[in-house]
Structure 1
Amino acid sequence: MPITRKILEVADSTPDLPAIVGPAPGESLSYAQLVTDSAHMFKSVSMLHAEQSDPPAPAPETGGIPITAVSLKSAYHSARIVAGLAGFRAVSATVDPRWPMDHQVHVITSTGIGLVITDSPDLPAALANAGWTGTAISLKEFHSHESQWVDGFDDLAQPTVRDGAEPFLMLFSSGTTSAPKAFLKTREQYRNNFAVSSAYLEPDPQVQTLAPGPMSYSLTLYALIECLASGGSIHVADEFAPIEIGTRIAQEKISRIVAVPAVVQGLAAAALRDPERFTSVNLMVVGGANLSARTRDLVGAALPDARLVSYYGAAELGFIGDSRDGDGTLISIYDGIKVQIRDPKLALSDGPAAVLPDGELGEIWISGGAVSDGYVSSTSSEHLRDAAGWGTVHDMGRIVDGKISLAGRAGDIIATGGHKVSLPEVERAFETLADLNTVCAVALPSESLGQIVALAIEERVSHSKVGKSSTFPSKSELIMHARANLAPQFVPRRWYKIDKLPRTVGGKIRRGATAELIVLAESGGHDADQLGVQRI
């Protein structure tokens, strides 16, 4: 694994270079300290697993390697544990403590996780009630356990570069609105993934990268891996706080930021208010393709000297491509990555025979060295790969001029009056309309057409000395803009003003929940004002 090889190299050549830096005083490990820390950590993890009288059986896909999960609010301590265990025979998992409790319990018990390091007061009891026989330990207790081995470093097992076929990370596909699906990444798959990201996303040696957000996000977790694999420094934060983040960027001389779109928007807004704190930033890597034109314009105004790269990928599949200019709707495919657009009805059974011609909308399938082998069978029976090794997460799109045009997930494509409509494409058409806040296109039932397109618009409220006010286009302005920028079948037939769009814990808009809220408001059995929904 490049992370272990590079950690050992840098610990020898530049031992004091920061490896992981957290937001609180004292939360910093140099490369040399990370090596020492990892030996203490693995000794404690090994003993905690070995002391169990009836240990949970790890998922067969791990090959019998014990699984250690981190369920902590602290991004720093989550990062040091994952990085520390990477050089040993261990599988690490990050379980989001903000998930519903039943989802946390489900992934831990169904995958055979044997050790959980958690700061949740409720998780240990919930696991015990579910009959789990593993060990749940608090971070404070784990630190105390590690301290036993501080003076015996030379007698402890040392991190080593391990075989590429060995799994070392267990990741999860979701967890907010549905039961999470688990999958494993082998060391070789991450080597291949790093080869792609290092060629395009510039995690260079000694570069100071800031990746704010929970380590349970695959984006943040991979930022950790790629920074250490390149010999750079990763600066983490538990949450996004503009003032604190701006101070850290200035003090820690951050030049590269890896973040989700919502954080990038917040950073750009903070940079407009206090540009001097952000002068060191020259690259912003954004997870999530089709970054809105509004966000691109905001970043361009706030950080004119910083380049913006919006990449497309999935934790199951690896990095696929990115967009760097224009409106960001076309994704350039990375070298070494192959893409097919398949008919969703035939995709798995017929394989390549189901490949659609350029320009036609279908399911995106990827071939590359980072594609995971499949979902852990105890969490999902869904196929991730076909027999030839091509994988999909059921994103929809088409090939245009050799690039990918994304259309959303399968559930984002609806049939209305015999036409296929991509709801994300409807949303993108409104990015250029002034005075419009975040929008969400949804499908509503229709007796005549089966489904119709509706647009929910989150109201933007501003506060001033004279009180609260909002700006909002008229319905006629909305319709005129839609007709000028969309094909007729894409034009919304209904329009709604909504106080607050439903979101996941990670800030993504929940399209299904938005549609349900509108249907509830229209049913007549509920007060639409109390629901915060108003038909325009």
Structure 2
Amino acid sequence: MPFLNKLQLWAEDRPDDTAVAVGGKRLTWAQLRDDATLRLGETPATTVLAEANSLQFVVSFAAAVAGVRRCAVLDPLWPAPLIEEVSRRIGPGGKPAGPDGARQPGADDLLDGPPDSDFLVGLTSGTTSVPKAFTRSRRSWQLSFDASVEFFGLQQDDVTLAPGPLAASLNLYALSECLYAGSAFHTLEHFDVGDAHAAITHDGITRLVLTPTVLRLLSERGLAGGVDASGIRSIICAGSKLDARTLEAARRWAPNAAIFEYYGASELSFVSGTCLAAGEPLDAGGTGIGGPFPGVELSIRDDTGAEVPAGAHGNICVRSGMVSNGYLWGDDGYALRSFGDWFTVGDQGYLADGVLHILGRRSDMILSAGRNVYPHEVELALASVPGVSAAVAAGMPDELRGQRVVAGILPAFGAVTATQIRTALDGLLAREKRPLQYYLLAELPVTDRGKVSRRVFLDWITDNDPRARVLG
């Protein structure tokens, strides 16, 4: 099941408690159940949602996964032709039907469908303009819920704020997880630092779910503005490794919060995670991201599927019931591979003393003077240097080395020099992995979808773009 059977339970037991709040507008458990039930008659077998955050979105999503229905959630900021193409590929709606094509019994009931049935079409960016699409079963999400509720310690009296768009998998999962656990979920109509701080101050928020970039923004501005975050008990971060500066700011701003970070992939669900309890000493800058998530087995394997020696690098492989069912389209044979019942998305890493260390995608690896250098590892070290707000690393052609490591630096404040950065990297990064040239960035190089891009960074250098100037 995903969460509808549980929603019925909470609506009976606590009908007048807040289930969901979006920008100050609220639905109780009973209102959410009743509104979603009314929507069922007009909800087809397959629904494509491409909407901004709203209570209407939540109601539509709940109805769209009832029974044997399935739902695809698209970013409403995508170009209209892309949304139309993805919708066309997913297929027509029609009436909810069983395998024989007959109207499915209970199609008008707000209940979970069979555990092995698909209910969600996920989309992940690929090398083409049309994202890859994969499916998830109801059983896989129930297992994911059970694991994450246990790992993050989610309680019914928690009040979660996930300030990002519900079209993003991090926030959509947080919403669904809270509906499953019977815990109130809050979000914003549009992300705004002031609105997020207001929710934390006035809505009794005890739990944050966000990306490291947003955590840093809320923490640093919260400290500057005197926003009280002492009531926050847990912070859950995903998307990239937490750097030292973000951790320090978050610890100062929310001193009573346990800070969780985890590694996962859309196709794999949760893989590994770690928790920094309130008051524990900070230990940032490394590549480690905890041990296996509950219900997950980890293995590092080569391209033949053979397990590599202890401590050696290879494909991060998982074995769990949370893995997706595979692709509807876009499968190039490398995005999600299996070695028997072990699955990988091609991320590289190694295990040391039970801790998983993430190195990044093999396609991003830099081969410099016969040594493998992963940009992710370089970027983590650079982001922990005082005066550096963010960094991007990449490899450029080099006649002597094959490739040389270069890095773009977005300063945190004032001026920063290459000499200061080189000095600060002593003890943080092996000498052979350090950049040979630094560039001062006017802004982060991003794609049209807002993702930091090493390719765009290299194009700036090649084109002598003023947004990337040599840093002396």
Aligned to 2:313: 361
Residue 462 of structure 2 is aligned to residue 511 of structure 1: no
Find the partner of 2:444 among 501, 505, 512.
501
Runs of 5+ unmatched residues, structure 1:
47-65, 116-154, 462-469, 522-527
Q: Tell me the SS of whatever aligns to 1:434.
A: coil
How far the C-alpha of 1:422 sits from its partner, in A, is: 1.2
CA distance in 1, matches of 2:388, 2:200: 31
Is the Cα contact below 8 Å between 1:110 and 1:379 reproduced in 2?
Answer: no
Aligned to 2:394: 442
How far the C-alpha of 1:386 sits from its partner, in A, is: 1.8
Aligned to 1:453: 405
Aligned to 2:432: 489
Relative to structure 1, the CA distance from residue 32 to residue 193 in structure 2 (aligned partners, 3 Å threshold; closer, same or farther) is: same
| 279-288 vs 414-423, greater mean Cα deviation | 279-288
Is the Cα contact below 8 Å between 1:483 and 1:491 reproduced in 2?
Answer: no
**Percent identity over paired residues:** 29
Question: What TM-score do the two structures reach when normalised by structure 1?
Answer: 0.79
Is the Cα contact below 8 Å between 1:20 and 1:80 reproduced in 2?
Answer: no
**Structure 1: which amino acid aligns with 2:421?**
L
Matches within 5 A, 1:164-183: 164-174=115-125, 178-183=129-134
Aligned to 1:319: 270
Is the Cα contact below 8 Å between 1:289 and 1:323 reproduced in 2?
Answer: no
Aligned to 1:533: 469
Aligned to 1:416: 368
Residue 316 of structure 2 is aligned to residue 334 of structure 1: no
Aligned to 2:17: 17
Find the partner of 2:87 among 101, 104, 108.
108
Is the Cα contact below 8 Å between 1:375 and 1:381 reproduced in 2?
Answer: no
How far the C-alpha of 1:416 sits from its partner, in A, is: 1.1
How far the C-alpha of 1:360 sits from its partner, in A, is: 1.4
**Structure 1: which amino acid aligns with 2:4?**
T
**Structure 2: which amino acid aligns with 1:323?**
T
Relative to structure 1, the CA distance from residue 484 to residue 282 in structure 2 (aligned partners, 3 Å threshold; closer, same or farther) is: closer
Aligned to 2:415: 471
Is the Cα contact below 8 Å between 1:39 and 1:156 reproduced in 2?
Answer: no
Relative to structure 1, the CA distance from residue 425 to residue 189 in structure 2 (aligned partners, 3 Å threshold; closer, same or farther) is: same
CA distance in 1, matches of 2:471, 2:2: 55
Matches within 5 A, 1:220-239: 220-239=171-190
Relative to structure 1, the CA distance from residue 174 to residue 250 in structure 2 (aligned partners, 3 Å threshold; closer, same or farther) is: same
How far the C-alpha of 1:186 sits from its partner, in A, is: 0.5
How far the C-alpha of 1:225 sits from its partner, in A, is: 0.9
**Structure 2: which amino acid aligns with 1:37?**
D
Aligned to 2:214: 263
Relative to structure 1, the CA distance from residue 519 to residue 112 in structure 2 (aligned partners, 3 Å threshold; closer, same or farther) is: same
CA distance in 2, matches of 1:201, 1:532: 40
Q: Tell me the SS of whatever aligns to 2:43.
A: helix
Matches within 5 A, 1:137-152: none
Matches within 5 A, 1:80-99: 80-99=59-78
Aligned to 1:73: 52
Aligned to 2:248: 297
Aligned to 1:36: 34
Is the Cα contact below 8 Å between 1:103 and 1:175 reproduced in 2?
Answer: no
Is the Cα contact below 8 Å between 2:408 and 2:468 reproduced in 1?
Answer: no
CA distance in 1, matches of 2:287, 2:107: 52
Relative to structure 1, the CA distance from residue 305 to residue 483 in structure 2 (aligned partners, 3 Å threshold; closer, same or farther) is: closer
How far the C-alpha of 1:363 sits from its partner, in A, is: 1.4
Aligned to 1:380: 331
Matches within 5 A, 1:146-161: 157-161=108-112
Is the Cα contact below 8 Å between 1:22 and 1:76 reproduced in 2?
Answer: yes
Relative to structure 1, the CA distance from residue 369 to residue 8 in structure 2 (aligned partners, 3 Å threshold; closer, same or farther) is: same
Question: What TM-score do the two structures reach when normalised by structure 2?
Answer: 0.90
How far the C-alpha of 1:103 sits from its partner, in A, is: 3.4
**Structure 2: which amino acid aligns with 1:471?**
A
Deviations 1:184-233 (A, max 9, x none): 11100001111110111123224211111111111001001100000111
Instruction: Give the total of aligned pairs.
Output: 452
Across the aligned residues of Structure 1 and Structure 2, the Cα RMSD in angstroms comes to 2.3
Residue 369 of structure 2 is aligned to residue 433 of structure 1: no
CA distance in 2, matches of 1:302, 1:500: 26
CA distance in 1, matches of 2:248, 2:471: 30
How far the C-alpha of 1:292 sits from its partner, in A, is: 0.7
Q: As a proportion of its length, which structure holds more helix?
A: 1
Deviations 1:29-66 (A, max 9, x none): 111111111122121124xxxxxxxxxxxxxxxxxxx3
**Structure 2: which amino acid aligns with 1:67?**
T
Deviations 1:211-259 (A, max 9, x none): 1111111100100110000011111123321111111122211111111
Is the Cα contact below 8 Å between 1:373 and 1:385 reproduced in 2?
Answer: no
CA distance in 2, matches of 1:341, 1:269: 37
The structure with the larger Rg is 1
Deviations 1:312-362 (A, max 9, x none): 11121111221224226322212321111122xx2xxx32xx221222121
Find the partner of 1:210 among 123, 140, 161.
161
Is the Cα contact below 8 Å between 2:366 and 2:394 reproduced in 1?
Answer: no
